[in-house]
Amino acid sequence: MTNEELQVLVEEISDRFFQLPFQHKAYFNPRLRTTGGRYMLGSHNIDINRKYLVEHGLDELIGIIKHELVHYHLHLQGKGYKHGDQDFKDLLKKVGGPRYCASLPESTKRKRILTYICSKCHLQYERRRKINTGKYVCGRCRGKLLFKKEELIEFRA
C-alpha cells in the first residue's frame, strides 16, 4: 500500500464512520517503532506505522486509523481528544475503534555489559559505557580499576 492509497483509505473511513471530511495528510512514517499511529496536534496530519499492516493486516490498520481519526475530529471540534477524556471514549466506542493496537512481534536486542574490578578490594563494577581507568578509581577504597570483561546480553524489547 502506498501513501496515496493510505490517504484515500483514511478519507473513506472518515466519511463512512464520522460523516466528516479528513482534510489533512495521512502517510506511513518509518520512524514509528512502538505505536501503531500518531495524530499530530500542530499539523493535524496522521502518521501510521507500516509494520502493523505487514504483521497484522488491513483490519488492524483500519482500527488504528479509526483511533487516530477520533483524536483528529475531536481536536478540531474543540472537544476532549485525549485518551482519558469521556468524549474520546464515547466516540471511540461509537465508531468501533480499538483503545490500544495489537503488539508487534518482540524483537531481540543486545545490551553490552562492561565489568571492571578494583585491584585492592576486588569490588566489581558493571557499566554500559567504557570508563577511563586512568581517571577514575574505586569508590570504596580508592584503588586502581582494572578492566575485567565485556559481555553481550540478549533480551526481549
For 139, the grid coordinates are: 569508590
Is 68 one of the annotated active-site residues of the chain? yes
Cα–Cα distance measured from residue 83 to residue 92, given in angstroms and rounded to the nearest whole number:
10
Long-range interactions of 55-60: CB distance < 8 A, separation 24+: 55/104, 55/105, 56/102, 60/36, 60/101, 60/102
Cell of 116: 571492571
Task: Write down the catalytic residue from 68, 150, 151, 154.
Answer: 68
CB 117 within 8 A of CB 145: yes
Distances (CA, A) of 55 to 58, 78, 106: 10, 35, 12
Residues known to be catalytic: 68
